[in-house]
Amino acid sequence: MSQRPLPERLFRTLRRTVLTIFGIQIALAVTLTLVDSYRRRNKKPKPFPVTPPIEVPVGDGTVTTYTYGQDLYDDMLAAIDGAQKQVLFETYIWKGDEIGQKFKDALIRAADRGVAVHVIYDGFANLVVPPTFKRFPSSIKVLRFPVYNAGLRFYNARYWGRDHRKILVVDDSVGFVGGYNIGTAYATEWRDTHCRVTGPGVWDLQRAFADFWNLHRERRLRRSERPLLLETASEWEPRMRFHRNDPTMWSFPIRSMYLEAINRATQNVWMTHAYFIPDPNFVDTLREAAQRGVDVRILLPRKSNHIVADWISRGYFGQMLDAGVRIFRFRDAMVHAKTATIDGKWSTIGTANVDRLSLQGNYEINVEFIDGSLASAMEKIYEVDLSNCAELTTAEWESRDIYRRFTEAVLAPLRPLL
């Protein structure tokens, strides 16, 4: 029998090696997920400290921060029930449970009294939601962002992003944006951050919704459906800017917003994120800030709802701790917020995590505030959250066992995918 040429043998060996490593990674990720899911069965999160809604004036309007879902939902439902002209509602996850039904009923009531109601939700995020819940009367215009959006352009990364935004705008007068999805568990069991905006900033939220609706309506709605036209003012609110990640346009300003703000920091950088899987340049920016004396703190869930993301996020812990970055882990409940505050002057609240999917993949929206009063409110929220955290020390990190080190090493190559 003739022996295969050396290049062919090397290629086959390399292919088998790559497939074996990838198979081990996938098997480990699936195993971790199944074990974590089993452990969570019938296990309720413990109560955690919350900050009551704080309203502060910003420019010609106000901003109210929310850290407890029930407070937020009460105000959102009240706004919908008080709508007279228009409701624009966009969400990533919309559970078909008690809270989810309350929102659906409120939107139907608004449409029944003649309010123009437009709804957007992500199809993939709601695959497990009963189909009956996702049926709406014809009086409500609904855009379901598809599970698969690429069509024949599967090779084009622009069409793989999810609609991860959470927006509510009512009557040109009030808007809500932040990290909260819609569901009963989020009302009391998850620690998240959302904000309510009045004044000129509402117009920017309206435009964000309308631009997304008009971009996707022709492919997902009847051809006779007219574009969503808004009579909004063009006045700028200098203390408030909305940044939208749009993969279709290959536009991802939220990452740049973070990096610019961190590079300007001279006193403190306090960040809270549900899933923290930064790219190397982002990590370097945080490390450089810490090394020049800035108080850099990262607040993360001790255990998130995605166990694989937790393991992968640890890949840079050693580098950051060595540089002086402090890492705090929220205990006994899921913290899902995507916020930061810097130097008592700058803050952001939004939908984007610090990971590849959010910063370079999904449709996201963050509002940037350059306002001392709001920064002060965000610092108070951060300090309350710290009371429920345990700080990760260098000694604790270096003493982790071989099992943890092995798992981190095996899963590390998956980091660019998340």
pLDDT-derived band at 35 (thresholds 50, 70, 90) equals: low
Fold match flag (54-239 vs 247-417): yes
- pLDDT score of 24 more than 80: no
Contact 169, 204 (CB under 8 A): no
Distance CA 188, CA 156 (A): 39
DSSP string of 184-226, one letter each residue: HHHHHTEE--EEEEESTHHHHHHHHHHHHHHHHHHHHS-TTPP
- Positive/negative CA dihedral, 370, 375, 378, 379: positive
pLDDT per residue as tens digits for the range 144-201: 999 887 676 766 767 778 999 999 999 989 999 999 999 999 999 999 999 999 999 9
- pLDDT score of 27 more than 60: yes
pLDDT per residue as tens digits for the range 282-301: 999 999 999 999 999 999 99
Find out if CATH 2.60.40.10 is the number for domain 54-239: no
- pLDDT score of 388 more than 60: yes
State mean pLDDT over 393-417: 73
Domains of the chain, by residue range, sit at 9-43, 54-239, 247-417
Calculate the average pLDDT of the chain.
87
Distance CA 13, CA 40 (A): 41
Query: Of the spans 102-111, 274-283, 357-366, 406-415, which averages the highest pLDDT?
Result: 102-111
Find out if CATH 3.10.20.440 is the number for domain 247-417: no
Distance CA 119, CA 136 (A): 10
pLDDT per residue as tens digits for the range 338-383: 999 999 999 999 999 999 889 998 999 999 999 999 999 999 999 9
Exposure class string for 352-365: b at 16+ Cβ within 10 A, else e: bbbbbbbbbbbbbb
Confidence (pLDDT) at 160: 79
Confidence (pLDDT) at 306: 72
pLDDT per residue as tens digits for the range 217-264: 866 555 556 778 776 666 777 899 999 999 988 899 999 999 999 999
pLDDT > 70 in the chain, percent: 81
The DSSP H or E segment spanning 264 is: helix 253-264
Helices 6-40 and 402-411 cross at an angle (nearest 10°) of: 120
For the question of whether the overall pTM of this predicted structure is more than 0.85, the answer is yes
Distance CA 35, CA 23 (A): 18
Contact 325, 287 (CB under 8 A): yes
Residue type, 16: R
The DSSP H or E segment spanning 109 is: helix 98-112
